[in-house]
Structure 1
Amino acid sequence: MNRPARALVRAFLGMALVTAGGTACTAHADSAARGSAAPGDAAHGNAAPTGPGPGGAAAYEGRTIDLARSWEGARACAVLSATAVTCYGTYQEANTASVRDGGDAGSVTLGTADCPAGWVCVYEHPVWDGRRLQFRDERWMSLAPYGFARQASSWHNNQNCSGGRRSDAASLRNGSGRSLAMAACSRSGSIGSFNDAAVDIHG
C-alpha cells in the first residue's frame, strides 16, 4: 500500500474512533437526563433532618427548644397541632395569646384553675401550679415529647362550657390500661393515684 493510501486509511479509522466516542458520550448524557443520579446524590436528598423532632419542638422567645429535654424556663406551652407548639414565660402570656386565638383569658393567678376557654390543661404540681401544658386536639397524644410524661398532678378542662353543653370530656392514660376522665368544665387540684402517672392525653 503506497503512502497516500495508508494516510487515507489512518484518517478513516480516526474518524470512526471519534464517532464511537461521541456516541458513548451522548448515551451517558441521555442517561443522566432521564434521572440517573451520580453516586451520593440520593443520599444527600434523603438525609434525615437533625434537631428536635416535630412532637417536641416548640417556639419560645424567638428560638426553638426541645421540650423533651428542657422547657428552658417556660411556664406554659400550648400545643396548637401535632407540629406546632408555642411556649410562654408566664401563664398570663399564654392566656393572652389564647384570647387572640379565640379563647378566654381566665385567671392568671398561680394556685387557681386558670386554663383558657377552649383548652384542657395539665399542671406539673397539685392545685394548678408549676409548668402548664395545654391541648385542644381531639386525639390521643403522648406526653413524652413535651417533657410531661409522668409529670401531671392536677388538671383543668375548660372546653365547651358555654350554653350548658359541657360535652367535651378529656382523658389521661397511664400506659398500663388505666385512664382518668376529665369532664368538660371541671377541674381537680389533686388526682390521687394518678399523680405523676399519666403518659398520654386526649383533649
Structure 2
Amino acid sequence: MRLGRTLIPVVTALCALTASAATATAAPEPSASPQVGFASQAKETQLQQQLAKTKPVIATYKGRKIDLAHGWQGAQACAEVPSGEVYCYDTAQEADQTLAALAPAVARNAGGTGLSAKESGQLGPAALSDCGYGWVCLWEHSDYTGRRLQWSAKGTKQLGDWDFRDQASSGCVNRDMGGALVYDARTALPDPYMALGNLGCYKFPSISYQTGGSWNDKADYIEM
C-alpha cells in the first residue's frame, strides 16, 4: 500500500457532513466548495480492502443484462436500488418514473412526512432537482446533464466498474445524513478526496484540486 504520506483523517470530514444534516432542508441547492484533503494510509488500506470485494456491475437494461464496465449500451441513466440491483434507462425521466416504484422508501424523508423533495415543493433550480430525494448522483457534464449515475445504499463504489471513471463533472447528495466522499486514485501517492455535504450540489470544474487544476473528470471511486 502507499507509504510516506501526510495523514489527514477522512473521518473528520464525515463527521462534519453528518453534523450539517440537522439544519438541512430536503432540497439540494448549489453549494460552496466542499472540504478537500488526502486520505490517510490507514483509510486507503480500508478502502482498498472494500474495493477488492466488489464484483462486476451487471445492470438490467431493456430486459437484458449488461456489464456496465463495458459500456452503457445507449442508456443515459443507471441506478443502484437499495436491494443492490442495478437498472439502466434510456432517459433520466424514465429512470425517475420507474425508480419511484422500485425504491419507494428512498423517496421518503427522515422527518417522516413521506414526501419526496419534488412532492413537497421544496425544489432548488430545475437542473438540480433531477437527483431525487434519498440518492447520491453523478453526472457526465458540469451542468447536471449527460449520463447520470446514482446510488441509494451506502458502500464504496469503484467508478471504473460503472464505466464512469474520470468522467464525473457534477454531483448532488440529496439526503439528510452521511454525505459522500469522492476520491482520485493515485499510484504510490496519497489519494485526494472531496467531501460532498448533505443536500448539496456541486460543479466539479469549480472545485480546486489539491495539486492544481480542478476536480473535473478526476473521480475514481466514491464512498457513501
Indicate the percent of aligned positions where both proteins have the same amino acid: 34
Give the count of matched residue pairs.
144
Contact 2:76–2:146 under 8 Å retained in 1 = yes
Larger radius of gyration: 1
Partner of residue 219, structure 2: 198
- TM-score scaled by structure 1? 0.64
Partner of residue 71, structure 2: 70
In the TM superposition, residue 120 of structure 1 has moved relative to its aligned partner by 0.3
Deviations 1:63-107 (A, max 9, x none): 111211111111110112685210111111111223221224848
Q: Does 1:187 align with 2:201?
A: yes
Partner of residue 172, structure 1: 182
Q: Which amino acid aligns with 2:182?
A: L
Contact 1:54–1:83 under 8 Å retained in 2 = no
Q: 1:122 to 1:201 in 2, by over 3 A?
A: same
In the TM superposition, residue 201 of structure 1 has moved relative to its aligned partner by 0.8
Q: 1:105 to 1:90 in 2, by over 3 A?
A: farther
- TM-score scaled by structure 2? 0.58
CA root-mean-square deviation: 2.4
Partner of residue 58, structure 2: 57
Partner of residue 11, structure 1: none
Q: 1:105 to 1:66 in 2, by over 3 A?
A: farther
Gaps of 5+ in 2: 1-53, 108-115, 208-213
After superposing on structure 2, the runs of 4+ consecutive aligned residues of structure 1 that deviate more than 6 Å are none
Distance in 2, Cα, partners of 1:198 & 1:68: 15
Q: Which amino acid aligns with 1:134?
A: Q
**Which of 1 and 2 has higher RCO (CA within 8 Å, sep 6+)?**
2
